[in-house]
Amino acid sequence: MYAIAIDGPAGAGKSTISREAAKRIGFLYVDTGALYRAVGYDMLKSRIDPADEKAVCTRLPQIEVAFGYEDGEQQIYLNKENITANIRTPQVSAAASAVSAIGQVRQFLFGQQQNIARENNIIMDGRDIGTVVLPDAQVKIYLTAAVEERARRRFAELQEKGIGSGFDEVLADVKKRDENDTKRKVAPLRQAPDAILVDTTALDFEQSVQAVLAVIKEKIGQEII
């Protein structure tokens, strides 16, 4: 099996770029952020502070988070309920970032990420895929862009969905998540030593997909195409 790990900060376009690249090479796309979002969503629903480590860990045994696929699109289930449509709000983003700093939460979600990689050719995106979850991935990419550009993209995405956050609020949110994700003690966001850097600040969507595909081709093109 082949594993392509794509890590990077919030709003770099990881999920849309990874999904499209996966489609073009016939690999399964796995968005691991959805797992952390599912846990964060559950805590909000259960009225538990996502930053309260003890309370979150007490709740964990009562929840089951699972991946699924419908028409090739990843779905996320919380206690068997499909919550895919509920996990993209700014509140859930903040909750996901908070719970993702808790070691037991990461441990709780670790096995599922490894299992899906064992059974499929995948492009998996996240924060610690190349460093922790799949250290033996044949291809590792660190996908990033300047923080203002990332905030601009996130803002446009939210507007499209009719979620009315202001730009300043979105920028502050992206900066806060960068800080949480890079400074946490367990599995912080960082570029793996053997990951190739792809900076999409000046690239449009198609150029970004091409940049990612170029890295994949260079590393494993002979074998998969």
Q: Which residues bind ligand DC (CB under 6 A)?
A: 10, 32-33, 36-37, 96-97, 100, 126-129, 177, 181
To the nearest whole angstrom, how small is the minimum distance from the Cβ of residue 214 to ligand DC?
23
Give me the DSSP letters along the chain.
--EEEEE--TTSSHHHHHHHHHHHHTPEEEETHHHHHHHHHHHHHTT--TT-HHHHHHHGGG--EEEEEETTEEEEEETTEE-GGGS-SHHHHHHHHHHTT-HHHHHHHHHHHHHHHHHS-EEEEESSIIIII-TT-SEEEEEE--HHHHHHHHHHHHHHTT----HHHHHHHHHHHHHHHHH-SSS-----TTPEEEE-TT--HHHHHHHHHHHHHHHHHHHH-
Q: Which is nearer to ligand DC, 53 or 217 (CB)?
A: 53
To the nearest whole angstrom, how small is the minimum distance from the Cβ of residue 21 to ligand DC?
16
To the nearest whole angstrom, how small is the minimum distance from the Cβ of residue 225 to ligand DC?
27
To the nearest whole angstrom, how small is the minimum distance from the Cβ of residue 97 to ligand DC?
3
Q: Which is nearer to ligand DC, 149 or 181 (CB)?
A: 181
Q: Which is nearer to ligand DC, 32 or 208 (CB)?
A: 32
Q: Are 147 and 154 in contact (CB under 8 A)?
A: no
Burial of 39 (0-12, 13-18, 19+ CB in 10 A): buried
To the nearest whole angstrom, how small is the minimum distance from the Cβ of residue 121 to ligand DC?
19
Q: Which is nearer to ligand DC, 92 or 215 (CB)?
A: 92
The structure tokens listed for 57 are: 């860990």
Q: Which is nearer to ligand DC, 59 or 217 (CB)?
A: 59
Q: Which is nearer to ligand DC, 100 or 144 (CB)?
A: 100
**Pairing mode, strands 196-199 and 139-144:** parallel
To the nearest whole angstrom, how small is the minimum distance from the Cβ of residue 6 to ligand DC?
10
To the nearest whole angstrom, how small is the minimum distance from the Cβ of residue 180 to ligand DC?
6
Q: Which is nearer to ligand DC, 97 or 208 (CB)?
A: 97
